Amino acid sequence: MCVCEHIPSIALETRLVLVLHRREFKKTTNTGVLAARALTNSDIAIWGDSDAPLADDALLPPGHHGVVLTPSEDAIPLDAAAALALPRPVALVVPDGTWRQALKMPRRIPALAALPRVTLPAGPLTRYHLREETHAHGLATFEAIARALGALEGPEVQARLEALFDRYVDATLRTRGRERPDEAPAR
């Protein structure tokens, strides 16, 4: 049931910087780390660990123009037109944790506070059926990364990532003796 052999190695101009809340790091249902494993140009930074504080200079690679993916009200919708207007290369910084944790990170981490914010335009509902979604249009971190990279790098990148995501969700559901709700046979 492991998806490890199916993880692609995708090289992009955009650099993913996943800022992972320390409590999220050990969760087996975390999807941000899976996305980072598929993207060769990615980094993972742990936030909230008092024994290893997050260094601001570790978040933005030299020469990259950072944007924070967050559903804040001051964020610009990241569609193809907005993506074209961004200076290149882009460092897509993605806070990863619970909704509450992820919303606090861009304000509490000095290196993120000054970065422009982008958000995803409305789209299909989540296909993540491993955790209960508390927000109507909430997405798993992996889905949000795939959609953002779809705008920044093109639809084929998004499609490759979403295929891995679907495989991961299906395999995990099978280990739990369940099926994806939208694929359950009619009774």
CA 84 distance to own-chain centroid: 20
Whether residue 70 lies inside any domain: the answer is yes
At residue 169 the predicted structure's pLDDT band, cuts being 50, 70 and 90, is confident
Cα angle: 151, vertex 83, 73; to 5 degrees: 90
* Domain around 105: 9-121+129-175
Q: Which two tokens stand for residue 130?
A: 């491993």
Highest-scoring range by mean pLDDT, 20-24, 81-85, 101-105? 81-85
Whether residue 180 lies inside any domain: the answer is no
Whether residue 186 lies inside any domain: the answer is no
Whether residue 51 lies inside any domain: the answer is yes
The CATH number that applies at residue 23 is: 3.40.1280
Write down the pLDDT at residue 124: 82
Whether residue 165 lies inside any domain: the answer is yes
Whole-angstrom distance, CA of residue 45 vs CA of residue 21: 9
Whether residue 182 lies inside any domain: the answer is no
Write down the pLDDT at residue 34: 93
pLDDT, one tens digit per residue, over 142-151 is 999 999 999 9
Whether residue 183 lies inside any domain: the answer is no
Whether residue 133 lies inside any domain: the answer is yes
SS3 percent helix, strand, coil of the chain, rounded to 5, is 35, 15, 45
φ/ψ of 151, rounded to 5, equals: -75, -40
Count of domains for the chain: 1
